[in-house]
Structure 1
């Protein structure tokens, strides 16, 4: 990232630099002319004298990636440290310690995942997620103030904007990064712009390589991106100037969920699922008959997804105990939404863990008076 300066003089520091994405970023920056890179993180490399000896596959990949950078004429320093230890980081990243000129650019990729619903988040889990991302970013902010670097890039996520479930801690950490970027950009006399990227999943790479996350993204009309698309977005952001840039790819089909965040990039909003399409056969049923029909229909939908005969499914027993997994919960919720024309919470199968409980929940929704309907009209945006 030049920001008005020639790329050949860049001295860059990348936290999480030996991770999959960190090494991708290092290679991309080298291709753009960066010639001095500091790859920092809790995982270091063995002594260089042992690099030709047998090693674990991940360690071997990191060694070969560093060698590939050096073959391009890049000077690489690998620093093993906990970036939240500001005093030690300051000592190890000083020009004299590195044998390099002062660092002029920072890319912060460090982070961990520990997906939990907000009601089950414990202090240990919260601290484990916040420490590398939020505490690490603040430590970097103190070590490299806005007026001392040419650029400062933070790897955030679009998850908190899309309402992905289970990201209470991770979403909070990323929101802190977005706020820190705004804070740095508002600093008086700041010369080095700060950019926070709200990434979707990078295809086949990074922490978000997860079938559940991908399913939740698709439910919101969003999909992953390739590394090439990510770097094209980075180029675009550089031309626009510092700030917060959510980066995601929209699916061609309409999403199952209507998100205000995406309303300005969809040409038109589609009406919420019509009760006439999915629930018309239940509209005039008496309460007891409605519950009986719902029990049969919900059981059939769930059994079909779980590849079970309807007679094998115990309506009063926890579905998890009967073989339900996290991916199935997403698919089942979407099937039920389409079948009954009702928007259902992402936590449906957490709070209603049996066929009977889900049926009761749907019975309450379908019995609601017509004037309580919340279907949105088709609107051009």
Structure 2
């Protein structure tokens, strides 16, 4: 650090002694054009900086710099003077070499894990380079920032962060990345640290979050740990006396939430929308199975729709992913088939997402039970839909939606209905046949209907079996049921329950409680335990067994899927088959809202819970009394209680930030012991925060513009107003040049990105920084849109 301070001081000392009247100017032209103008401009000028293909700077005598600025502006290009008191990066500085080197530390660059790229050399600085050689070159030689960015990309850089009081180089970085072969989709991160006119803390915080969100490997879990004990100082810093004012916010607990929400999934009939003409959207079809006929029908529907165009997946704004068919509809065999498919690369389809992609829609058949007329959901289809919802949390720039069809046989009318449905942008939808063709339904949540409590003195608590009995939820049920008169409780788990807790419950309530170690996924072991402890048959089964092996889609293996499915799915099936049951046995399955909503890092776990929901529906269809309760977040074990929950403190904190809150165990269990005929969701939540999360799972509704001829004009006017901070878009005068409107290099970069997101088209940064007017920008975008309409369509499913 002391060497760095010495370099800054040495540079300031020598440049402050230069005599003369000098100036510097930034020009929006290329290197060759700048050199030609320098040669024809009177007075002394030199090219001092090449930032990008159309961004350079010149230094020289003040009058000569003013003259070249006027010349460049008169040609319709950007030019602006820069407040610098000496001619940076020019031959005038050669006389200062000895004086500079005398004041520099006698140091050299060393080998380091982070590569250092010089702005003037445009390449990685080699170990052993002396400070004298490097810092003189840094002061004297022409800056080749364009080559430095190229070197960074060559070295693998995908994120670019400018540390400065106001961004000056982000525009140039973006321009250099435009033509980079290694960055076809542009940089993953392109942000600054601060921005003039904005509160420093706000700008810095927003940019830090942007960089972290764009990093798929960012360790978010580390943020939920315990705070560091004491201060952690940076050695040797600061190097000068500073005023110490604490600025950091202190963590505060989330406000309490009272009560529980008890809801059910409900499918609402959607009102048909009137089709309106609009700009074309590019759609692609990916078939994960062997449904060539279905894929071809969808491709034909895309071709025939007035607002869509078939394209390759990398160029699509919306990708339709056709789920594979599953030979078996029962949960156990479907679970095995799904695990095998995952091992074969089933979950690799997000790799096809391109830069323009806004939404990925999974198309399933029979995954949802929309009404009583529908068959029990297909287990494999439902589980894959749950996985898809969780994968969506790994791709915050896209929305992952789901459309369920009634049949694999897709006639042309249904094909058109599919395209119309996905363009409407809803998250969870289903098409079903009706008298007038096909009707679109959207999944919503509704308050659960009022139903009576279980009558606990009816014999339902005579012989209770709790799987996962040694876990947190299993023990909560054991306590509650023992307190409310259970005569006998069998706790099944791979390991025995906490003996002190079991002994206490026996003593306080007189309940017979046994806890034999038992792996319910092992049929031999389960049969033996059932023969010994099954008695005359279970009156109530509480199925709380399960495990969580977290992981995002790229890391989910077939083995991880099998492990997540084992206790919940296979374990339940074997309990129903092998454990003695009374004719009126009740079965309460502990599922999760993750199966309904998904979540980050729970791809396999969400599928396991959705399979459990399907098994509940299958058991009810067989005439059994069964309900799957889709739980929210359970309360963490209190001090002194065995900590055997599936969520640790870090996970609980992360889930709570999404809006779910911890449920009080007694309140949660009481909510579950009701005569439900459909599976309820039971959770505690900060309603506003949770709604924000759920709303983010849908992309912007596509109903088409009110006037298709003004689509691009409206987009340009609206986005210009946004970047310029103009409250009313109608006040933007499109006859003015963007420069006169106030668009600088940073705003041009923002405008370009906004246009690409809103209409899928944009122009080069050099064009935006030229003398183009708002009307000229509209004309260029309309010309590009017209060319896209006449381009040849690509059908990926017909090859």
TM-score range, shorter chain: 0.5 to 0.7
Rate the CA distance shift 1:127–1:214 in 2: closer, same or farther, 3 A. Answer: same
Q: Aligned equivalents of 1:138 and 1:365: distance in 2?
A: 52
Give yes or no for contact 2:535–2:580 (8 Å, CA) kept in 1.
no
Task: Provide Cα deviations, 1:302-349, integer angstroms capped at 9, x if missing partner.
Answer: xxxxxxxxxxxxxxxxxxxxxxxxxxxxxxxxxxxxxxxxxxxxxxxx
Task: Provide Cα deviations, 1:126-149, integer angstroms capped at 9, x if missing partner.
Answer: 111111111111112223588735
From 36, 44, 53, give the equivalent of 2:488: 36
Match status 1:16 vs 2:453 = no
Question: Runs of 5+ in structure 1 lacking a partner?
Answer: 46-61, 264-275, 295-361, 373-381
Rate the CA distance shift 1:363–1:124 in 2: closer, same or farther, 3 A. Answer: farther
- Which residue of structure 2 lines up, in the alignment, with residue 280 of structure 1? 722
Q: Aligned equivalents of 1:4 and 1:43: distance in 2?
A: 29
SS at match of 1:257: helix
- Which residue of structure 1 lines up, in the alignment, with residue 16 of structure 2? none
Rate the CA distance shift 1:252–1:129 in 2: closer, same or farther, 3 A. Answer: closer
Give yes or no for contact 1:214–1:223 (8 Å, CA) kept in 2.
no
From 179, 182, 185, give the equivalent of 2:617: 182
- Which residue of structure 1 lines up, in the alignment, with residue 630 of structure 2? 198
- Which residue of structure 2 lines up, in the alignment, with residue 63 of structure 1? 499
Task: Provide Cα deviations, 1:42-100, integer angstroms capped at 9, x if missing partner.
Answer: 0126xxxxxxxxxxxxxxxx111110121121111111111011233122112xx1284
Q: Aligned equivalents of 2:670 and 2:554: distance in 1?
A: 38
From 366, 369, 378, give the equivalent of 2:758: 369
- Which residue of structure 1 lines up, in the alignment, with residue 672 of structure 2? 234
Give yes or no for contact 2:463–2:488 (8 Å, CA) kept in 1.
yes
Rate the CA distance shift 1:289–1:89 in 2: closer, same or farther, 3 A. Answer: same
**TM-score normalised to the size of structure 2?**
0.30
What is the CA RMSD across the aligned residues, in angstroms? 3.5
Rate the CA distance shift 1:93–1:286 in 2: closer, same or farther, 3 A. Answer: farther
Rate the CA distance shift 1:179–1:214 in 2: closer, same or farther, 3 A. Answer: farther
Higher share in helix = 1
Q: Aligned equivalents of 1:363 and 1:203: distance in 2?
A: 47
Match status 1:101 vs 2:536 = yes
Superposed displacement of residue 156, structure 1: 0.7
Rate the CA distance shift 1:174–1:261 in 2: closer, same or farther, 3 A. Answer: farther
Q: Aligned equivalents of 2:596 and 2:472: distance in 1?
A: 24
- Which residue of structure 1 lines up, in the alignment, with residue 280 of structure 2? none
From 212, 223, 234, give the equivalent of 2:661: 223
Higher share in strand = 2
Rate the CA distance shift 1:363–1:134 in 2: closer, same or farther, 3 A. Answer: farther
SS at match of 1:211: helix
- Which residue of structure 2 lines up, in the alignment, with residue 25 of structure 1? 477
Rate the CA distance shift 1:165–1:103 in 2: closer, same or farther, 3 A. Answer: same
- Which residue of structure 1 lines up, in the alignment, with residue 572 of structure 2? 137
SS at match of 1:150: strand
Rate the CA distance shift 1:371–1:287 in 2: closer, same or farther, 3 A. Answer: farther
Task: Provide Cα deviations, 1:126-181, integer angstroms capped at 9, x if missing partner.
Answer: 11111111111111222358873520111111013222111111011101110000
Give yes or no for contact 2:550–2:601 (8 Å, CA) kept in 1.
yes
Superposed displacement of residue 251, structure 1: 1.2
Q: Aligned equivalents of 2:488 and 2:556: distance in 1?
A: 40
Rate the CA distance shift 1:169–1:363 in 2: closer, same or farther, 3 A. Answer: farther
Superposed displacement of residue 31, structure 1: 1.5
The total of aligned residue pairs comes to: 266
**TM-score normalised to the size of structure 1?**
0.61
